[in-house]
Chains A and B, each alone.
Chain A
């Protein structure tokens, strides 16, 4: 069965510190992987995606993610967090048609000064 696991419900980091949000997936075919961000009261916005090729992908707002097939993981990273990064982050897995999207339960990020 297809599923996405985000083991960290909530993470708190200091502004300027590095960040890593974990994501593990289960998918029967070649996975297409995504990270979305949701600011309070807003819809979800795509941060980055992985379809194929280089396993380290760059996204918007200084985020990157690394696909590790052997670990079924797609962790999101940022070298230096800004206060504006406080939001809910969702990992998702799907196919290459847009017909299937499975979202994780999300990780809430708090940034402290």
Chain B
């Protein structure tokens, strides 16, 4: 069984440029999470999807961040325009409907904003 797949693994951009991250969850996992992980910190939730619906986006900075999960499978997280402080790792995770307490994480997308 394939795990959570994220791309790109690394991205370097200049400030004010746009950037997008893609995530494909484990097949059959209807819940998808995007987390932000700053250096030396634990993951912080940005947005959580149940199928196509964003059920918790309270921590998503909506002035520059957006996300979508069309068709309830893969998801895209976008930043436009990027700022220096957005340099971090963006983690995607998924979980099954029958919650077992386990989030399955991808390897993350490391963003560097210059």
- Interface residues, chain A, CB within 8 Å of chain B? 4, 9, 32, 34, 36, 41-46, 49, 51, 90, 92, 94, 96-99, 101, 103-106
Contact partner, A98, options B3, B43, B91, B101, Cβ 8 Å: B101
Complexed CA–CA distance, A36 and B41 (Å)? 13
- Interface residues, chain B, CB within 8 Å of chain A? 3-4, 31, 40-45, 48, 55-56, 91, 93, 95, 99, 101-108
Complexed CA–CA distance, A82 and B80 (Å)? 44
Please tell me if the beta carbons of A98 and B42 are within 8 angstroms of each other in the complex: no
Contact partner, A106, options B42, B95, B106, Cβ 8 Å: B42
Known contacts A44-B43, A106-B40, A106-B41; decide if A99 and B56 are in contact (CB<8 Å): yes
Known contacts A34-B101, A41-B107, A43-B91; decide if A99 and B48 are in contact (CB<8 Å): yes
Please tell me if the beta carbons of B101 and A49 are within 8 angstroms of each other in the complex: yes
Query: What is the minimal beta-carbon distance from B105 to any residue of chain A, in angstroms?
Result: 3
Please tell me if the beta carbons of A90 and B101 are within 8 angstroms of each other in the complex: no
16 additional contacts (CB under 8 A) given A36-B103, A43-B93, A105-B42? A4-B42, A32-B101, A42-B107, A43-B106, A43-B108, A46-B101, A49-B102, A51-B101, A92-B42, A96-B99, A97-B99, A98-B95, A98-B99, A98-B101, A99-B55, A105-B40
Query: What is the minimal beta-carbon distance from A41 to any residue of chain B, in angstroms?
Result: 7
* Chain A residues whose CB sits within 8 angstroms of the CB of B105 once the complex forms: 43-45
Please tell me if the beta carbons of B103 and A103 are within 8 angstroms of each other in the complex: no
Q: Which residue of A lies closest to B41 (CB)?
A: A105
Complexed CA–CA distance, A41 and B101 (Å)? 23
Please tell me if the beta carbons of B31 and A98 are within 8 angstroms of each other in the complex: yes
Please tell me if the beta carbons of A44 and B103 are within 8 angstroms of each other in the complex: yes
Please tell me if the beta carbons of A44 and B44 are within 8 angstroms of each other in the complex: no
Complexed CA–CA distance, A103 and B41 (Å)? 9
Complexed CA–CA distance, A92 and B93 (Å)? 15
Complexed CA–CA distance, A39 and B30 (Å)? 26
Nearest 9 CB-CB pairs, A to B? Answer: A43-B105, A103-B42, A98-B99, A49-B101, A44-B105, A46-B102, A43-B107, A103-B43, A43-B106
* Chain A residues whose CB sits within 8 angstroms of the CB of B45 once the complex forms: 101
